Structure 1
Amino acid sequence: MSNELVLVTGGSGFIGAHCILHLLEVGYHVRTTVRSLKRELEVRAMLKVGGSNPGDRLSFFAADLTAEAGWPEAVAGCDFVLHVASPLPPSLPKNENEIIIPAREGTLRVLRAARDTGVKRVVLTSSFAAIGYGQKPRNGPFNETDWTDPNGDDLMAYTKSKTLAERAAWDFIAKEGGRLELSTVNPVGVFGPVLGPDYSASILLIQRLMDGALPGCPKLNFGVVDVRDVASLHLLAMTHPAAKGERFLATAGDFMWIREMAEVLKDRMGEPARRAPTKELPNWLLRLASLRDPAIKLILPELGKVKNATNAKAVRMLGWTPRSREDALVATAESLVRLRLLKDSSKAS
């Protein structure tokens, strides 16, 4: 195993860095792509926080999802590819194609390079966004046979981008993939230990709850999974013979309301979570606030909607055993305290 080489695209991201950590821990050599090689020190610093000093077992290549340059070189000689990188702009794009085109074309670039250089299998980091949106309300949980309707009402550009990128990946494999194999991992909201100040929107929610930056909890319901379990599922999807040609939902259990998340934090974290609100905000108040804040407008279509998803397939086929939802949320909060990323973290730690 130690002689096998794995490329992780987007190594500076939250999921990408944890995938690198997990691969190194079990003995792989790892290569990662970053948009600029200036980020190597930053990525190595994140890995150090995660307890790893890989030295020359980790190498860096510059490649961008929006350009061909660098991808053939980054993929050459690799046994497997974890394609984790995905464009997520810091603000709302004026045109949804600003995020859809790089996601879809970037995925195809990686798959073409992997096919042409003899990679065995690519694991694509997709999302629950490609499974559970743009459809009529339902009682049962979503599973891997479900697909988001990209033409559905009120879909965010990010949701469309993940759906269209994954669709394009499966189409590519079916029509021109050759011997290349594909699996996808579709996480819900990803939480868990933060390795540095650059993290995902789900972590920002916990930070804002802990900081008391929210006057109350929006009536939003979504899934929770620990980033370390997302990384372990990527490895299972990469190596397990049964994972070829399959999608796997990464969720730790039933979906939760934000109010329930705040209650877990207050119960398990004590003093550092004293500011977390546990009152639910009425939907009309958020609709009013959205007139002044475009970011709030994004969540309006999901207010009050109950959704769920099942991890039964990953558990049954691959033996995946995720941590509990509560432990994932607490690990997030503990890391924010430890890295002093909260307003009061100097006192709290």
Structure 2
Amino acid sequence: MSTILVTGGSGFVAGHVILQLLAAGHDVRTTVRNLAREPEVRATLERHGADTTRLRFFAADLERDDGWAEAVSGCDHVHHVASPFPLTQPKEEQDVIRPAVEGTLRALRAARDAGVKRVVLTSSFAAIGYGHGRRETPYTEQDWTDVEGPAVQPYMKSKTLAERAAWAFVAKEGGAMELATVNPVGIFGPALNGDLSTSIELVRQMMAGKLPGTADLWFGVVDVRDVAALHLLAMTSPEAAGERFLAIAGDSVSLHQMAEILHRGAGTKLPPRLPSWIVRLVGLVNPMARDAVPRLGIRARASNDKARALGWSPRTNEEAILATAESLKALALVEPKRG
């Protein structure tokens, strides 16, 4: 078994990657910005069945050099999952872009210097499918977000520029170290604790009846357990070296379709559809609605053929969304509004 570093161990995706690595028998290390979080993160993983006797914690920050060399020393592989994800748009886009790019390069330099065989970088569909407007053909791993394109937000830029920086670094300075990237769409599935990602918070609001209506917005869905499984495949498969892998379960879904899945499977109240003209009107005064306006009616599609060729077999959209709902109920984070 290998010794593997997972960065950002307190995060949603990183937690599931750690769970699967430990279950597979690996020795795992993880980074947190402050070691005061170790007891909390360890307890969360243990509640979800992990034997954490083979898990070690290291303090490392995306914006500082301290701790990275120690964390990665002796590791065979690295999963660089940590990346800033703002819940609201920052006033300065560099507040998101700088730590994403510099943090990725810090992790890669430390991995190269430690003789790591392969780094798996958690990128995003945000680095693939934005800035192009309407498009009929599915996105693939050959596509890149146009950071100068219309309505490309700072987070999308940060993921695109960080991944491009990673590929450039490995090509010019990486030596024998290999790189693979996993590019998920909207990540759903079982929450591990009350620290909710944006996608999980959307489901929580729907279940609590706090969403006034469903706009004509579409997105891809993938279960976090399948994202973690693809990380492990990208780490171990010889053919994954130097490749990107889109993580998407199937066809994109609309907000209303997601609400219907929750209505059928979890008995939650079905919110009304919101006409696009109302969203545009609200967008004049509401920043969240304003951010949504450029995406109204755009149904981006993406192919998972390349990931499936590795042996990846994702859960369905419905399974991922209902698993989210079940976890929120199990964690007592929502009291569903039924209807």
TM tier relative to shorter chain: over 0.9
- What is the RMSD of the two structures over their aligned residues, measured on CA atoms? 1.3
Give the drift of 1:344.
Answer: 4.7
Match of 2:96 in 1: 99
- Could you list the runs of 4 or more consecutive aligned residues of structure 1 that deviate by over 3 angstroms after TM superposition? none
Give the drift of 1:169.
Answer: 0.3
Match of 1:246 in 2: 243
SS in 1 for 2:102: helix
Match of 1:170 in 2: 167
Give the TM-score taking structure 1 as reference length: 0.95
Give the drift of 1:44.
Answer: 1.3
Give the TM-score taking structure 2 as reference length: 0.97
- Determine whether 1:141 maps to 2:133: no
Runs of 5+ consecutive residues of structure 2 not aligned to the other structure: none
Separation in 2 of the partners of 1:103 and 1:177?
19
Separation in 1 of the partners of 2:229 and 2:336?
33
SS in 2 for 1:30: strand
Bigger drift between 261-270 and 159-168 goes to: 261-270
Match of 2:124 in 1: 127
Match of 1:324 in 2: 316
- Residue 94 of structure 2 aligns with an amino acid whose one-letter code is N
Count of residues in correspondence between the two structures = 338
- Determine whether 1:183 maps to 2:175: no
Separation in 2 of the partners of 1:53 and 1:287?
50
Match of 1:24 in 2: 22
What are the residue-to-residue correspondences of 1:177-326 with 2, within 5 Å? 177-270=174-267, 273=268, 275-277=269-271, 279-316=272-309, 318-326=310-318
Give the drift of 1:296.
Answer: 2.2
Give the drift of 1:191.
Answer: 0.2
Deviations 1:179-214 (A, max 9, x none): 010000000000000110002100011011111101
- Residue 30 of structure 2 aligns with an amino acid whose one-letter code is T
Separation in 1 of the partners of 2:293 and 2:83?
24
SS in 2 for 1:17: helix
Kept in 1, the 8 Å contact 2:133–2:298? The answer is: no
Separation in 2 of the partners of 1:276 and 1:10?
36
Deviations 1:275-295 (A, max 9, x none): 241x32111211222233212
- Determine whether 1:84 maps to 2:81: yes
Kept in 2, the 8 Å contact 1:142–1:310? The answer is: yes
Kept in 1, the 8 Å contact 2:246–2:307? The answer is: yes
Give the drift of 1:52.
Answer: 1.4
Give the drift of 1:53.
Answer: 3.2
Separation in 1 of the partners of 2:255 and 2:6?
31
Separation in 2 of the partners of 1:102 and 1:178?
24
Q: Which of 44, 50, 59 pairs up with 1:62? A: 59
